[in-house]
Amino acid sequence: MWRMVGAPTTGEDATDGAEDDGAEQAAAFATPGTTRPSLARRLARGLVDRLLPPCCPLCRSLTADGGALCAACWSTIRFIERPYCERLGTPFPFDLGEGTLSAGAIADPPAYDRARAVARFEGAGRDLVHMLKYDDHVELARLMAPMMVRAGRDLLAGRPLLLPVPLHPTRLWRRRFNQSALLAREIARLSALPCDTGLLRRTRRTPRQVGLDRKGRADNVRGAFALAKPERLRGRDVLLVDDVLTTGATVEAATRTLRRAGAARVDVLVFARVVGDGAS
Ligand SMILES: [Zn+2]
């Protein structure tokens, strides 16, 4: 199986790691004034990519077009299509009629209004998330964002303000970029919508979510967000953008912060989400 360079090797659950990091994101790149040490690396990679024949960014097999997945990798993406729960975006095994909500959405409604994801967090859907985040393949945002625009078309139709889930500044400094902000900026560009990468902030570094149950995760991220200029949120529709959604504890906490500032609608758009046990 394909392995990522730079992926967590400590044996931690990748899903948990993803949520944790997804939970700790701000500006697309380290704050103004700091250097972007990966720039040279990215430029070099771009040059090499230009010189070599086009290949799949995941498995490196040759492809007809640069920047596209090969057929084999593409076939492992499990896209989430309707029918799904109109609130949570979790797929239904069969069509229950338009506007149907899942039992989970009724019993335990989320703080946000609607969530949508391109694919399940498995196969190439998971590999793309990991490669963007851990392996510094920032160019993948250009491949992933159009898929998110398609999956989130209903949410984008309301012309919301796009806000990436921020990283805590120390994590941003270490990683040098916020993958969710890269995705949000690209989605905003494609949709001609406003995007603010500095409005929602991470105020507290939270321990990794590994080993925490749903309640533990919720407690872990409670009060971890703040707004730079809360008055900008009053009455506005917001779309939170993240790379991956597992239990939803992170976006729940972020949503509550936005609601307190008077945001009208808060939707969530991610590239991949966990479906099944522990997901909601
Ligand atoms: Zn491939």
- From the CA of 150, how far away is ligand 1's center (Å)? 22
- From the CA of 45, how far away is ligand 1's center (Å)? 18
The lowest-confidence range among 122-136, 178-192, 195-209 is 195-209
- Token output for 48: 């090499």
- From the CA of 74, how far away is ligand 1's center (Å)? 7
Give me the pLDDT at residue 38, please: 62
Q: What DSSP string describes 20-78?
A: HHHTSB-SSBSPTTS--TTHHHHHHHHHHHHHSPPB-TTT--B-SSTTS--HHHHTT--
- From the CA of 69, how far away is ligand 1's center (Å)? 5
Confidence of residue 170 (pLDDT cuts 50, 70, 90): confident
- From the CA of 198, how far away is ligand 1's center (Å)? 35
Confidence of residue 206 (pLDDT cuts 50, 70, 90): confident
Cα 273 → chain centroid: 9
Is 237 strand, coil or helix? coil
- From the CA of 221, how far away is ligand 1's center (Å)? 36
- From the CA of 143, how far away is ligand 1's center (Å)? 13
Q: What is the mean pLDDT of the chain?
A: 83
- From the CA of 215, how far away is ligand 1's center (Å)? 37
- φ and ψ at residue 164, rounded to 5 degrees: -75, 145
Note the pTM of the prediction, 2 decimals. 0.82
- From the CA of 4, how far away is ligand 1's center (Å)? 13
Q: Model confidence over 207-224: pLDDT tens digits?
A: 666 677 777 777 778 788
- From the CA of 89, how far away is ligand 1's center (Å)? 27
Say if residue 78's pLDDT is above 80: yes
Confidence of residue 277 (pLDDT cuts 50, 70, 90): low
Confidence of residue 26 (pLDDT cuts 50, 70, 90): very low
- From the CA of 75, how far away is ligand 1's center (Å)? 9
Q: Model confidence over 34-64: pLDDT tens digits?
A: 344 466 776 776 666 667 778 899 998 998 8
Say if residue 23's pLDDT is above 50: no
Q: Model confidence over 236-267: pLDDT tens digits?
A: 999 999 999 998 999 999 999 999 999 999 99
Judge contact between 236 and 264, C-beta under 8 A.
Answer: yes
Among positive and negative, which fits the CA dihedral 250, 253, 258, 263?
positive
- From the CA of 63, how far away is ligand 1's center (Å)? 8
Say if residue 124's pLDDT is above 90: yes
Domains for the chain: give ranges and CATH numbers.
14-34+79-273 (3.40.50.2020)
Judge contact between 271 and 131, C-beta under 8 A.
Answer: no
- From the CA of 82, how far away is ligand 1's center (Å)? 26
